[in-house]
Amino acid sequence: MNTFTYFYPVKTFFGEGAARSNLPDLLAKYGQNVMLAYGGGSVKRAGIFDEIKTILEAAGKTVTEFGGIMPNPTYAKVQEGAALAREKNIELIIALGGGSVIDACKIISAQAKLHEDIWKFEYDSGGQPTDFIPIGAVVTAFGTGAEQNNGAVITNTDKMLKAPLWGAFYDFAILDTGYTMTMPQKQVISGAFDSLSHCMETYLGTPRSENLSDEINEAVMRNIIKNIRRTVTDPQDRFARSELIWAAAMAENGILKIGKVTDFQCHMIEHQLGAYTDCNHGQGLAVLHSVLYRHIYKEDTARFAHMAQTVWGLSAEGKTEEELAIAGVEALAEFIKEIGLPTKFSEMGIGADTDFRAIADSTVITKGCCKRLTADEIFEILQECL
């Protein structure tokens, strides 16, 4: 095992009714002015917004609404939220939504307290914000596990970059299965696949030999695969849904990453694809994963072969290590097809006129990936996804 420090400050409340049971007590320690941030309106239509606002008002809070946070949140929207938070003297921000709202609020929280532009501060000066408006998350779309960490993926449309910024950790996160039951089924599956992707991207980092983090990870991956299948069969299966929600959190709460340098090359390509196409994150990953793995598995056949056995349940009998490794990659590709995720960009409305050259040239190359890709190879991978 590598040397590590594990730090996890998010108090997580899990289960049906978790907001009603816990939010009133939690609110007592924060100030009067609360921002309630949300996305395009799904939480209003589902009645979740009213439920949370009523709890806030019953606790005597003055509520400032901040809506319209879009999927793949933009830097401009974050700046708008930070200006409002400053103007209204906000003392607690509640993010009510999925990864997009949750990510945006991490940076609103930091930018509102910072007297310079946070993009410049982090990217040009190498700064890390230390002063934050406290934040709490009420998760209504699961998969990213974004409420568990302090990284936010923000799209800077001026720079054509979808890139990480570091903001606040959530003081608390509320994961209520009931709040996710109105998610469109496509989002449920793409969100759950995102969780599986986080697990794979962690597993395939270094060290690549057997270790405790990876053995826990194998169990999480098998659980996600099983429960996606249950959810495809019965979209209203609340037990399967609750398992997937916790698996999403497990993939991002740091436990699987202990002692590891993660891979996340697929994510880096997908994020830039998102910067240029505004595509759905989990769907982009679904198309990219098997194409990318076909390009890289030969650099680490032992690890891919091991994953084929422990995650996909394939037998090694009669196969060389390389045959087993590629069989695992093909099992992943079959699974993606089976659960109805797109297997080609064309199914996502991404055409040949997309600037794949610019996407490839602006993709971050990661240290943990078993193969150090070149921009040309990423360009090839993107074209193979068409």
Dihedral of CA 268/270/271/273: which sign? positive
Span 319-338, contacts to ligand NZQ by CB under 6 A: none
Considering only residues 233 through 252, tell me which ones interact with ligand NZQ, judged by CB under 6 A: 252
Cβ at position 106, least distance to ligand NZQ in Å? 8
Q: How many residues bind ligand NZQ (CB under 6 A)?
A: 35
Pick one of ligand NZQ, Zn ion, none as the site partner of residue 71 (Cβ within 5 to 8 A by kind): ligand NZQ
Residue type, 56: L
Judged by beta carbon distances under 5 to 8 A according to partner kind, the member of ligand NZQ, Zn ion, none in contact with residue 303 is none
- Of 176 and 194, CB closest to Zn ion: 194
| From the list ligand NZQ, Zn ion, none, partner contacted by residue 183 (C-beta under 5 to 8 A by kind) | ligand NZQ
Residue 15, class by beta-carbon neighbours within 10 Å (0-12 exposed, 13-18 middle, 19+ buried)?
middle
* 304 interacts with, out of Zn ion, ligand NZQ, none, CB within 5 to 8 A per kind: none
- Residue 36 or 324: which CB sits closer to ligand NZQ? 36
CA dihedral 288, 290, 295, 300 (to 10 degrees): 120
Binding mask 175-214 for Zn ion (x = CB under 5 A): -------------------x--------------------
Name the residue type at position 250. M
Residues of 220-249 as b/e, b for ≥16 C-beta within 10 angstroms?
bbbbbbebbeebbeeeeeeebbbbbbbbbb
Q: Please say which residue, 185 or 374, places its beta carbon nearer to ligand NZQ.
A: 185
Is residue 74 close enough to count as binding ligand NZQ by CB under 6 A?
no
- Residues in contact with 353: Cβ distance below 8 Å, sequence separation at least 6, in sequence order: none
Q: Name the residue nearer to ligand NZQ (CB basis): 267 or 303.
A: 267
Name the strand (E) or helix (H) holding 13. strand 11-14
Taking the C-alpha atoms of residue 192 and residue 189, their distance in angstroms, rounded to an integer, is 5
CB of 194 to ligand NZQ, least distance (A): 6
Cα 27 to chain centroid distance, Å, stands at 26
Among 129, 134, 191, 342, binds ligand NZQ (CB under 6 A): 191
Q: State the binding partner of 195 from ligand NZQ, Zn ion, none, CB within 5 to 8 A by kind.
A: none
Please identify, among the stretches 8-16, 75-83, 137-145, 356-364, the one whose residues bind ligand NZQ according to the rule CB under 6 A.
Answer: 137-145
Is 93 in contact with 135 (CB distance < 8 Å)?
yes
Task: Find the binding residues for ligand NZQ in span 257-276 (CB under 6 A).
Answer: 267
Quote the tokens at residue 149.
């960490």
Which helix (H) or strand (E) element contains residue 24? Answer: helix 18-27
Q: Between 13 and 325, whose beta carbon lies closer to ligand NZQ? A: 13
281 scored as a contact of ligand NZQ (CB under 6 A):
yes
One-character DSSP codes across 26-87: HHTTS-SEEEEEE-SSHHHHTTHHHHHHHHHHHTTPEEEEE--PPSS-BHHHHHHHHHHHHH
Which of 31, 40, 178, 259: binder of ligand NZQ (CB under 6 A)? 40
Residue 46 near which of Zn ion, ligand NZQ, none (CB within 5-8 Å, type-dependent):
ligand NZQ
- Assess contact for 245 and 12: CB atoms under 8 A: no
Q: What residues numbered 75-104 form the site for ligand NZQ, per CB under 6 A?
A: 97-101, 103
Q: Which residues pair with 163 in a beta bridge?
A: 154
Beta bridge partners of 154: 163
Task: Report the alpha-carbon distance of residue 306 to residue 312 in Å, rounded.
Answer: 10
- Going from the C-alpha of 385 to that of each of 36, 48, 108, 284, the distances in angstroms are 39, 38, 35, 10
Q: Name which of 11 and 298 has its Cβ closer to ligand NZQ.
A: 11
Q: Which one of the spans 39-47, 83-91, 166-174, 300-308 is the region binding ligand NZQ (CB under 6 A)?
A: 39-47
CB of 200 to ligand NZQ, least distance (A): 12
**Residues engaged in binding ligand NZQ (CB under 6 A):** 39-43, 46, 71-72, 97-101, 103, 140-141, 143-146, 149, 151-153, 179-180, 182-183, 187, 191, 194, 252, 267, 281-282
- Contacts with Zn ion by CB under 5 A lie at 194
